[in-house]
Structure 1
């Protein structure tokens, strides 16, 4: 992964900057990371070897740009035009710029930017909901060919689904914070962000756990060398229509544990079979009701990304609809939260049979 740092140093801007790795690293060698300096690598993409060939080639991969600063930092205004010229000259390379200062983007682009350059990806960061709701509306409205969202360090659960709806975002990345004083990252936040991406058909990359990671109610201290590997091992990165989620390992809850948890939910516990429901079941017979349940599961829950997921199950109209809400089998998000079945995958026959059994258990117990 080639990295091009035309300048070094940055000014802390928002909560995500609190434990900045650049500040930590510079401090360890007696440098002040708040001092912005032009580097000797300013013209790196134009440098050539002894044979007169560019040192950076398309085969080198995406050029991550300004990774020890921010490309749109005000202190770098005098140097940025030269960088744009270099990027313009090296149209054969693809440059990836990650910024917290997306609000400065419009005033910092070159005159010939138009609706964006094909060889530039802009990633906007949002570490919490406040930053997401401030930066992403600006980001969505800008002329950019390739755009991504980065939530790293992820400091809380965020909802960005409305910013994914128009199909402009090519990928969402999230990860926890590294370093000795790292703040917590919860796997529940990661999974919720992933669900939003799955529903929107947007690729999702779970980059790293961070140093302090909460999973299943327990906090873990994870060494730096394992943070990316553990995220990769989870299998929670997602690319639509690739079957990638099939490798996620999980355990279905026992029926006793599931119904005990459901009983503690005010919402789930409010569903009841009416006299009309019971009569309908008696008239049709349990075999027919089971067939209806299996059909609803196959059509409304089994696809990798069901249409209108989260709103596909009516509250009434069939006894099984009530059973679905009562047992949290109403949408893929609830299946993941309550039954551990990951979203973003086509349900297996075993999973469909399990859900159907849960629904029928609930119905039979209430006859």
Structure 2
């Protein structure tokens, strides 16, 4: 139900929901879609529902997993938890009652810090007043190119303890970012088959805006054939800045 993560900005992934649908250019080479197909073929129980063949794929149909809700209660030591690395909690086919159940688990385990990432902030806004927002929940939006910068304005209206941007896979320059109310920015290049190369000036432009605005900046990778193919250094150093964790 959960696993240690190779994602540099978290410690463990927790997937009470699996499956999704592609909605923007950043989804074109979705790692979760490819992995779900493999997990279905291996017989993994959580990945047997197929999604729309145009927007989703084998094993990637949106599916809730109520039994997975118990997992965080078993973790004694504080953890940083990426929620739904294999889905989007705010997908239209995830019922609000189940989202509320996820939020309750988060509130019940305040020793952990939970990171929720969505490409659907408009649905978050529609549901925000109907949810109790735990103090240990961070909410982020994906901002892969300039044409989806409007997600930032929507995020700013959400009552999350920390609001963050995931500019990964960064597939184009973002230009000016309005960082008021934003507590963290992650940037990463795309990896895997067909990875679209990231340009250094796209990254440094974002980094410089974060430094000027005193917003923690995390550079995850340059990407390439594999996530680590071209390393993580930017201007001769690692950028691993993060907001304070719930248990700090």
User: What corresponds to 1:351 in structure 2?
Assistant: none
- Equivalent positions of 1:120-131 (< 5 A) are 120-131=137-148
Matching residue within 1, 11, 14 for 1:4: 14
The reply to whether residue 38 of structure 1 matches residue 57 of structure 2 is: no
Length, aligned pairs only: 213
* Higher fraction of helix: 1
- Equivalent positions of 1:218-229 (< 5 A) are 222-227=225-230
User: What corresponds to 1:201 in structure 2?
Assistant: 214
Backbone CA RMSD of aligned residues: 2.2
Give the CA deviation at 1:88.
Answer: 2.3
Contact 1:2–1:60 (Cα < 8 Å) also in 2: no
* TM-score for both structures, normalised by structure 1: 0.54
User: What corresponds to 1:141 in structure 2?
Assistant: 157
Contact 2:223–2:229 (Cα < 8 Å) also in 1: no
Computing the radius of gyration from Cα coordinates, the structure with the larger value is 1
Per-residue deviation, residues 178-219 of structure 1 (Å, max 9, x unmatched): 1111112111211111111122121211101111xxxxxxxx
* TM-score for both structures, normalised by structure 2: 0.78
- Stretches of structure 2 that go unaligned for 5 or more consecutive residues are 1-10, 42-47, 49-57, 243-248
Cα separation, partners in 2 of 1:136 and 1:224, compared to 1, 3 Å: closer
User: What corresponds to 1:63 in structure 2?
Assistant: 81
Per-residue deviation, residues 241-278 of structure 1 (Å, max 9, x unmatched): xxxxxxxxxxxxxxxxxxxxxxxxxxxxxxxxxxxxxx
Alignment partner of 2:100: what SS? helix
CA distance in 2, matches of 1:28, 1:144: 34
- Stretches of structure 1 that go unaligned for 5 or more consecutive residues are 47-54, 212-221, 241-367
The reply to whether residue 22 of structure 1 matches residue 46 of structure 2 is: no
- Equivalent positions of 1:39-188 (< 5 A) are 39=65, 40-46=67-73, 55-57=74-76, 59-77=77-95, 78-109=97-128, 111=130, 113=132, 116-132=133-149, 134-161=150-177, 163-164=178-179, 166=180, 168-188=181-201
Give the CA deviation at 1:141.
Answer: 2.2
Cα separation, partners in 2 of 1:106 and 1:119, compared to 1, 3 Å: same
Alignment partner of 1:169: what SS? coil
